Amino acid sequence: MYIKFITLIKNNIILAVITTLIVLIVNKNSYSTETIKNEAYYYDTLAENWINIFPDGNRNAAGPKFFKYLIDQDLSFDDFVEFNKRYCPVSGSLIAPGSEPAFISMNEVDSDNKVCGDMYRCCWPCVCDSMKYAKAMEISHKFQGIEEKFTVMTIDNPCGKEEFPLEVNRDYFCIGEKMNLDQVFVVDQKMIIGLLHKPTSCNSSDLLAINNNPVVGQQCKIRNSTKEEELISGMGDIFIKLSK
């Protein structure tokens, strides 16, 4: 009887250990799945919905289409921010998980202030173009009933331009000379092209770091002083014609 009792205790201990190990393994796998989702879920979701966002497949300079699509979804603010890391506001290209942002400065709308922050982009020329031709604006919006403030990148209404770039689907942006509010998101007559992440008012250290950066500082100085007709990298003069 005593031996049976000891055996029963041992079996229960073994069972408890096995159960604990199973729980740990399941939790570890769940954590790994969540990590993968954090890195790839937002990219994959946008890729899967590509045809809904761009029915004709033309995403040239169509960051505003991504932004409008996302802000119309019933997203939490955190998800909204993460989705906005997965496309380039200037080119409209998708951005792969794990891509590092560029730290940039932008002029603020209707102000002499400069706003610094992170920009997720597909290539370095898009950084230069956004710094020269886009402006920052703080706006607010409700996400699942909670109002949040965030900073966006904007351009002026492009719809009255005589030289609207032929590479861009004009119907995505415009109805006549007015912006198409069903296709793009507009605040104070400014078209929003994307999100500026982790925004802050630029200080001298921020500007020095940007100016000394080999890409954002040095290469962008060269690009932004080059004549439009000579630009052959990135979106070339497509976004510039759209935004200037």
Domain boundaries, the chain: 1-48, 57-243
> How many degrees, rounded to 5, is the angle at CA 138 between CA 108 and CA 68?
110
Q: What is the pLDDT of residue 21?
A: 36
Q: What is the pLDDT of residue 162?
A: 86
Q: What is the pLDDT of residue 230?
A: 74
The pLDDT tens digits for 177-194 are: 999 999 999 999 999 999
- How far is CA 177 from each of CA 166, 171, 180, 203, rounded to the nearest angstrom? 16, 11, 9, 38
* Alpha-carbon span 64 to 68, nearest angstrom: 6
* Alpha-carbon span 130 to 114, nearest angstrom: 13
Q: What is the pLDDT of residue 233?
A: 60
Q: What does the pLDDT average to over 86-99?
A: 95
* Alpha-carbon span 201 to 5, nearest angstrom: 72
- Residue 66: pLDDT band with limits 50, 70, 90: very high
Backbone dihedral angles phi then psi of residue 173, each to the nearest 5 degrees: -110, -35
Higher model confidence: residue 215 or residue 16? 215
Q: What is the pLDDT of residue 60?
A: 92
What mean pLDDT value characterizes the chain? Answer: 85
Q: What does the pLDDT average to over 46-68?
A: 95
Q: Are strands 178-179 and 135-143 parallel, antiparallel or unpaired?
A: unpaired
Q: Which amino acid is at 55?
A: P
Structural contact between residues 206 and 116, judged by C-beta atoms closer than 8 angstroms: yes
* Alpha-carbon span 138 to 151, nearest angstrom: 4
Q: Which amino acid is at 46?
A: L
- Statement: residue 232 has pLDDT above 90: no
Two structure tokens written together for 138: 């703080």
3-state secondary structure 14-36: HHHHHHHHHHHHHHHHHHHHHHH
Two structure tokens written together for 44: 């994959």
Structural contact between residues 195 and 81, judged by C-beta atoms closer than 8 angstroms: yes
Q: What single-letter DSSP state applies at residue 93?
A: -
Q: What single-letter DSSP state applies at residue 112?
A: S
Q: Which residues contact 163 (CB under 8 A, 6 or more apart)?
A: 241
Determine what percent of the chain falls in helix, strand and coil, rounding each to the nearest 5: 45, 20, 35
Q: What is the pLDDT of residue 10?
A: 45
- Residue 55: pLDDT band with limits 50, 70, 90: very high
* Alpha-carbon span 41 to 16, nearest angstrom: 36
